[in-house]
Amino acid sequence: MRTHEQPATDSDLADTLHARGQRATSQRLILYRALRELDRHATADELLRASAERLPNLSLPTVYATLELFEELGLVRRVAVEAGPALWDPRVDPHQHFACRSCGRVIDLDVPARAGTAMAVARAAGHAPDSAQVVVVGLCRDCAHGPADV
């Protein structure tokens, strides 16, 4: 599997987990499937609710632990936007985010992230950065234009 390619099926995810020395538990498969099916940036709470029918005994700490493992393995990205809980992004390819300060939506921007500059600045300051993310904040198209005038 290429660096930014996402597992498309449970079988692909199981293969990826096994190749990286991890077990493909039903909880891991169901949580990853829930994130893919939501098809948006989701909080751990939203993923817990989305998985509740299939995993009624699933706990929030288990959801967080699983998401953090997925992040370590490069299967998801944690997106931090101003105040509020972390969002989990099923897309791991280079892209930026737009966060609407009115409705709270986080929208993918299909522009290659220009993280190189931020990484270089951090290195020049003596830090050892692993990654950088760009989050543009403002009003989304819907909130900026409001309801259509009739």
Question: Is the same domain home to 23 and 36?
Answer: yes
Question: Is the same domain home to 32 and 102?
Answer: no
Question: Is the same domain home to 67 and 117?
Answer: no
Question: Is the same domain home to 131 and 86?
Answer: no
Question: Is the same domain home to 40 and 75?
Answer: yes
Question: Is the same domain home to 49 and 102?
Answer: no
Q: How many CB atoms lie within 10 A of CB 40?
A: 15
How far is the C-alpha of 46 from the C-alpha of 129, rounded, in Å? 30
Q: How many CB atoms lie within 10 A of CB 26?
A: 10
Render pLDDT for 43-81 as a digit per residue (tens, 0 to 9): 999 999 999 999 999 999 999 999 999 999 999 999 988
Query: Last residue of a domain, which of 67, 92, 117?
Result: 92
**What's 62's domain CATH number?**
1.10.10.10
Query: Last residue of a domain, which of 47, 76, 92?
Result: 92
Question: Is the same domain home to 79 and 132?
Answer: no
**Domain range holding 98?**
94-150
Question: Is the same domain home to 56 and 11?
Answer: yes
Distance, first Cα to last Cα, the chain: 51
Token pair of 10 as six digits: 């449970």
**What's 130's domain CATH number?**
3.30.1490.190
- Contacts with 56 (C-beta within 8 Å, 6 or more apart), sequence order: none
Domain count, the chain: 2
Render pLDDT for 11-39 as a digit per residue (tens, 0 to 9): 999 999 999 999 999 999 999 999 999 98
Question: Is the same domain home to 63 and 137?
Answer: no
The pLDDT value given to residue 129 = 85
Question: Is the same domain home to 88 and 100?
Answer: no
Residue 9 pLDDT > 70, yes or no?
yes
